Chains A and B, each alone.
Chain A
Amino acid sequence: MTGIAAGLLLQLGLGALAVLSALALAPALRSLVGGIFGTLIAVTGFLTGLAALLGATGGLVIPIALPMDPLLLAPDRLGGLFMLIVSGVGILVSLYSMSSTRGPDASRTAWVAMPVFLVGMQLVPAATDSVSFLLAWEIMTLGSTVLLFADHARRSTVASAGIWYSAMSQLSFFFILAGFAVLATASGGTSFTDLQAIEPGSGAANVAFVLFVLGFGGKAELVPLHVWVPRVLPEAPSHVSAAMSGAMVKIGVYGALLVCVRLMPDGPAWWGIAIMLVGGASALYGILQASVSSDLKVLLAYSTTENMGLVFLGLGASMLLRGYDATAAADAALVAALLLAISHAAFKSTLFLGAGAIIHATGERNLDRLGGLGARMPVTAAAFGIASLGAAAIPITSGFVAEWMLLQSLIHGGRLDGAVVSISASVAMPLAVAVIALTAGLALLTFVKAYGIAFLARPRSAPAADAREVPPLMQLALVLGALSILALGLLPGPIAAVVATTFSTDPTGAVQAVGLGGVSLPGIGATLDPVMLVILSALVAIPVFVSIIVSAHRHPARTIDLPWGGGGSRARPRMQYTATSYAEPLVRVFDDVLKPTRDVQVTHVAESRYLVERVRVEQRVSDVIETRLYRPVLNLFQRYGIVVRHIANGSIHRYLSYSFVALLIVLIVVSL
């Protein structure tokens, strides 16, 4: 038995043990043991994924009773990379959940579903045929749905979110199933090796491509299939949101890569353009919604849509450029997309875990009622801050490297040896650069808001003022997450070089590691060495800081308080910026896209109309796509349902009459 097979078998065995222990153990022990098992499952998955990524082969054969080939789980390098990503998130989430879960989140059902979810996610990238892929996919969806429903009894929003999630998951699954069915019919087999035989330009391939993009795009939260995201991720327990956004969404990305890179690598140009369009639209729409949201978890959820949009933008650009033989730029774009996925897994799971820590400490997720947490929860604040830097793509974090590489490939991709590769590429690439630029600017604004309003300034509510730092295990998960973001950002070279091996046998022409963990793109002629940058800027900054500190020590501190204090001494928490007021200019600028509803109520003083006693402003930004696209369809279905209710009204006589009439009609028709 190979190492990979042993690792996969161990994951399955640990998963089964975790389910049994969750069923058997008393509530007091359940979270601890469940967390330990979850960590073990994730560590096993991590090691298995790492081995597969580094080129280990082998797999686990699972015979089945059905008349078809046995299921074969054998991750290749790409599968290994994604197994690594999801299990890395799994480690953080499992450590965190050991002490974060309380009440219904720590119920027996939830702890049975957690290992199912983790194992399901880790097995999807290992599948080598469509049957085992779909099986693992459904296990993953099932586990996540049950976890989401954990708190449905207390909050009605959870039930509604769960129904949205179930419906959208099933829609995704249907599309993927249909895609595989089309390919399997055309190629005559279900294993990925058989499916690779499809001619990418053929009709069946085109149909399957559209179905797959709809299916995997739904899981990867792309517009317009993202509507479940702003409902589900905020309502799920925070460690589940972290696992969903950090890991499960990557499985959607993996599916898209599987289709576009492995199964049908040389598709027509419109495939790349379509993916770029969907990705660009998702990136812009996601970050716009995130930037105006004042609910911390909704903000993070929409930001996930943005990041996945960028990943798909990179993937689409890579497909388009590869079609025009701009291989170096195409490889760089694909590496950038993969690095984006990795870094998103790191920073978004840390952010969601940080949001969970805030909810754990204050019970609030409305930014307008937070503030001042930086002094009260220093570890959480530091981790959330680093993750915010990553999400805003600021240097020395992982997000920066990925976006830098994506921009490099897009800027240089339109030209090959000085000549324009094609009209469509030379139109698409600058547009994509513009989209990324706007997205990056809005992302910066969004995360300045998220971090600044929540952790800086003064508390805006009593729970925020009474916040205490979370338990050590939750801190450990947050610190590990933050460290991984920094590691990915400081040492991009070796990571990018390994990532490039997932789709190319000789990637040195596209990506190389140089210097102190720096990355070089020889095909484009660009180099980035973050460690060197840090050392250089430290050389410049340290003398300046030292001189400032020294000169500050020479002058004694002023001890007399000014009586008036420049007005600052009487500032109240309510006078500070809130998340809503901070985003107000943006709402005005993008008024036509966001369509916010404002409600202003002015109460006058009884004596005079000219004096105002209080003003109450309420602003809601709803999801335009949901209200304009989904609502009409749902209303149509609802009307159909009301009509149908008359036909099927629950009377057994009526149902029997239907079958009797049907039988009579059949008899009459056959005897005619």
Chain B
Amino acid sequence: MFETFYPQLIGLCTGALLLTSALMVWRHSLLASIRLLGLQGIALAALVAVIGIAEDESELVFVSLLILTVKGLGLPWVLAHQSKASIKQIQESPRLNPTAALLAVTLLTILSYVVVSRVFGLGDTTTGHAAPIGLAMVLIGFLLLISRRRARSQLIGFLLLDNGIATIAFLTSGGVPILLEFAISLDVLLVVLILHVFAGRMRTKFGGTAVDQLRELHD
């Protein structure tokens, strides 16, 4: 029963991952981006759980719970930890307009499919076929990093990049050892907390977190 659904479940999860990534590039509202990040975390957790059940590894199920807690609930909560009223008003004015950005996302996705199939080969497994999605997420995360002006929007790009790396890891080799996964998750949480505090301090000090405007500080 599960065997027949397995490829479709993998496809669903990776599809959700790619879709949330693309939506993150499209949407300008910070709150929407944070919610999408939460959705992506849940999708990643689901992906890990599906792989864990298919390969009959209880360890992976535990990892999926960890991912769900950290990436699906923890990080979005930390990022959105501010009065909802004020965060709703934060609108990003990115350096790329939405059309160009979505076009770039398309090209990057195609590129990642080409790269993975040409360089590594897609392989016979279901997960192997979905591996390019991870690379596409890394590239889209990078795109967010360079196209967003606000520190917290860039942070979301960074987290998307991290999700992409995790996706590649789970799809190609069934995940990294649990201890490593645990450490990386904690690291990411720590980075987000620190940057969040920084962004808050920057806003109270200078009234904005547009990274470009901070250039004058270094002199």
Chain A residues with CB under 8 Å of chain B are 649-653, 656-657, 660, 663-664, 667-668, 670-671
Q: A657-B146, A660-B143 are in contact. Are A671 and B115 (CB under 8 A)?
A: yes
Q: Is the CB of B218 within 8 A of A650?
A: yes
Counting CB contacts under 8 A, is B26 at the interface?
no
Q: Per a CB cutoff under 8 Å, which of A649, A656, A668 touches B111?
A: A668
Q: Which chain B residues border A664 with CB–CB below 8 Å?
A: 111, 139
**Nearest CB of A to B131, in Å:** 14
Chain B residues with CB under 8 Å of chain A are 95, 111-112, 114-115, 118-119, 139, 142-143, 145-146, 149, 211-212, 215, 218
**Nearest CB of B to A424, in Å:** 58
Q: Please give 9 more A-B residue pairs, beta carbons under 8 A apart, in addition to A651-B215, A664-B111, A670-B115.
A: A650-B215, A653-B149, A653-B211, A660-B145, A660-B146, A663-B142, A667-B112, A671-B111, A671-B115
- Count chain A CB atoms within 10 A of each CB in B119, B215, B218 and give the residue with the most: B215
Q: Which chain A residues border B95 with CB–CB below 8 Å?
A: 653
**Could you give 15 example pairs across A and B, Cβ below 8 Å?**
A650-B218, A651-B215, A652-B211, A653-B95, A656-B142, A657-B146, A660-B142, A660-B143, A660-B146, A663-B142, A667-B115, A670-B115, A670-B119, A671-B111, A671-B115
**Nearest CB of A to B146, in Å:** 4
Interface of B: prevailing SS:
helix
Q: Which chain A residues border B119 with CB–CB below 8 Å?
A: 670-671
Q: Which chain B residues border A653 with CB–CB below 8 Å?
A: 95, 146, 149, 211-212
A663–B115 Cα gap in the complex (Å)? 12
Q: Which chain A residues border B114 with CB–CB below 8 Å?
A: 671
Q: Which chain A residues border B111 with CB–CB below 8 Å?
A: 664, 667-668, 671
- Count chain A CB atoms within 10 A of each CB in B95, B146, B215, B218 and give the residue with the most: B146
A287–B155 Cα gap in the complex (Å)? 64
Q: Which chain B residues border A670 with CB–CB below 8 Å?
A: 115, 118-119
Q: Is the CB of B218 within 8 A of A656?
A: no
The 9 closest A-B pairs by CB, nearest first: A671-B118, A671-B115, A656-B146, A657-B146, A660-B142, A667-B115, A650-B215, A656-B145, A671-B114
Name the residue on A nearest B216 (C-beta). A650
**Nearest CB of B to A613, in Å:** 48
A651–B215 Cα gap in the complex (Å)? 6
A206–B90 Cα gap in the complex (Å)? 68
Name the residue on B nearest A672 (C-beta). B118
**Nearest CB of B to A432, in Å:** 55
Q: Which chain B residues border A649 with CB–CB below 8 Å?
A: 215
A657–B119 Cα gap in the complex (Å)? 24
A650–B215 Cα gap in the complex (Å)? 6
A137–B121 Cα gap in the complex (Å)? 53
Q: Which chain B residues border A671 with CB–CB below 8 Å?
A: 111, 114-115, 118-119
Q: Is the CB of B142 within 8 A of A651?
A: no
A531–B114 Cα gap in the complex (Å)? 91
Q: Which chain A residues border B215 with CB–CB below 8 Å?
A: 649-651
Q: Which chain A residues border B115 with CB–CB below 8 Å?
A: 667-668, 670-671
A502–B164 Cα gap in the complex (Å)? 67
A649–B218 Cα gap in the complex (Å)? 11
Name the residue on B nearest A649 (C-beta). B215
**Nearest CB of A to B40, in Å:** 20
A671–B122 Cα gap in the complex (Å)? 13
A656–B118 Cα gap in the complex (Å)? 26
A657–B142 Cα gap in the complex (Å)? 9
A657–B157 Cα gap in the complex (Å)? 13
Q: Which chain A residues border B211 with CB–CB below 8 Å?
A: 651-653
A667–B108 Cα gap in the complex (Å)? 11
Q: Is the CB of A651 within 8 A of B212?
A: yes
**Nearest CB of B to A659, in Å:** 8
Name the residue on A nearest B143 (C-beta). A660
Q: Which chain B residues border A657 with CB–CB below 8 Å?
A: 146
**Nearest CB of B to A660, in Å:** 5
Name the residue on A nearest B117 (C-beta). A671
A664–B143 Cα gap in the complex (Å)? 11
Name the residue on B nearest A660 (C-beta). B142
**Nearest CB of B to A151, in Å:** 26
A101–B105 Cα gap in the complex (Å)? 67
**Nearest CB of B to A651, in Å:** 6
**Nearest CB of B to A146, in Å:** 26
**Nearest CB of B to A400, in Å:** 58
**Nearest CB of B to A218, in Å:** 34
Name the residue on B nearest A650 (C-beta). B215
Q: Which chain A residues border B145 with CB–CB below 8 Å?
A: 656, 660
A38–B145 Cα gap in the complex (Å)? 56
**Nearest CB of B to A647, in Å:** 15
A670–B143 Cα gap in the complex (Å)? 20
**Nearest CB of A to B208, in Å:** 15
Q: Which chain B residues border A650 with CB–CB below 8 Å?
A: 215, 218
A668–B112 Cα gap in the complex (Å)? 9
A656–B212 Cα gap in the complex (Å)? 13
Name the residue on B nearest A657 (C-beta). B146
A667–B146 Cα gap in the complex (Å)? 18
- Count chain B CB atoms within 10 A of each CB in A653, A660, A664, A668 and give the residue with the most: A653
Q: Which chain B residues border A663 with CB–CB below 8 Å?
A: 139, 142
A152–B74 Cα gap in the complex (Å)? 51
**Nearest CB of B to A251, in Å:** 39
Name the residue on B nearest A658 (C-beta). B146
Name the residue on B nearest A652 (C-beta). B211
A657–B143 Cα gap in the complex (Å)? 8
Q: Which chain B residues border A656 with CB–CB below 8 Å?
A: 142, 145-146
